[in-house]
Amino acid sequence: MLEYESLAQSNLAFMAELEEVAARVIRSGWYVLGKEVAAFEDEFARYIGAKHCIGVGNGLDALTLSIQALDMPAGSEVLVASNTYIATILAIVRAGHRPVLVEPESETFNMDPGRLPAVLTPATRAICVTHLFGKTCRMDDISSFARQHGLGVVEDCAQSHGAKLDGRMTGTFGDAGCFSFYPTKNLGAFGDAGAVVTDDDRIADRLRHTRNYGSAKKYVNEYIGVNSRLDELQAALLRVKLRHLDEMTSHKRALAGIYFSNLPEWVSLPGRRDDEFDVFHIFAVRHRERDALRAWLLEQGVKTEVHYPIPPHRQKAMAGILEGSYPIADQLHETELSLPISVGHSPEDIQRVCEIFRRVPDALRRTG
């Protein structure tokens, strides 16, 4: 059986380094917001090309605290892709605002900038873009729309560590770039972890307070904050993996190259653009008979995933929050299939998946 992903196998490659730094942190006696967090923040800011990095507890908090830091009037409208992962929308709601859905482009899965003018109202204050599956949004068009209308921009980079548009990293286009280091991410920790990058001194200062009860100085509370601190162990382990991130990305891009060259033409491949450096957090194909194809692949020994089975506007939790119909999101959620593409997979594994695809019965090949 070919697993969709094996995190243990991916992490074993760095075992000696990981064990060494874990022991160092345990011996240090200092476990939350210390030297390792400060060093990781410095190294990650440099990697992304941002002035500041603020470590937080997870990606959802990175988004929520960043949206709060924009200081918008309560109930402001925030534009967000209709097919994003639910966390992007939860962050807008948690920050006290109203998510307004914008349909994506089917080929790139990302927010369609051509649809922004139709959803703009006097209450619109920000755009929250998600660089879904490791692909970059059209930040040139989105940023110029935001500038024209005085909107804040928060980037959800939970799936786009190291992805670039015209040589510039995701996370550096908006007011804040929000990262998750959930274990399955391209830069994955060993538990929950997240970070915000920004060039804005005010936002950085606010986040340094709000992640820690609203306090940057012990027992002095300037804001209503939360407990969303990055711990020393995660930071130290992330520092090790950050040093290997480019080689992990190269590996995934090489695996994607095998899919692009070898999958049969009846599979709808993810869209590609010359100005984009896609990091393939997920290799998402589309097929009308997705569920039957997925079941057949499993019978042949290939595990796949679906990202995601239910679109946000159809989630029970979103009743009364997200209204209207979103046919492109519906269609993507019905047709998307995620193929194995992880650091733990070899080129031979991916060749094998492609060979199995060539044996798919005719009845399952129908496109459309």
Ligand X SMILES: Cc1ncc(COP(=O)(O)O)c(C=O)c1O
Q: How many helices (H) and strands (E) does the chain have?
A: 13, 12
Q: Give the C-alpha distances (Å, rounded to integers) separating 189 from 89, 116, 162, 237.
A: 23, 35, 16, 7
Q: Which is nearer to ligand X, 193 or 328 (CB)?
A: 193
Q: Which residues bind ligand X (CB under 6 A)?
A: 58-60, 84-85, 87-88, 130, 156, 158-159, 180, 182, 192, 194
Rounded Cα gap, residues 123 and 73, in angstroms: 9
The residues, ordered by sequence, that sit 6+ positions from 181 with a Cβ below 8 Å of its Cβ are: 59, 187, 188, 189, 192, 193, 194, 195, 234, 238
Which residue has its beta carbon closest to ligand X? 59
* Smallest separation (angstroms) from ligand X to the CB of 132: 6
* Smallest separation (angstroms) from ligand X to the CB of 99: 13
* Smallest separation (angstroms) from ligand X to the CB of 130: 5
- Edge-to-edge strand list for the sheet holding 164-165: 168-169, 164-165, 276-277
* Smallest separation (angstroms) from ligand X to the CB of 149: 24
- CA diameter of the chain: 68
* Smallest separation (angstroms) from ligand X to the CB of 156: 5
At 223, the amino acid letter reads Y
Instruction: Give the pairing type, strands 194-198 and 52-56.
Output: antiparallel
Residue 222, judged by CB atoms within 10 A of its CB (0-12, 13-18, 19+), counts as: middle
* Smallest separation (angstroms) from ligand X to the CB of 315: 15
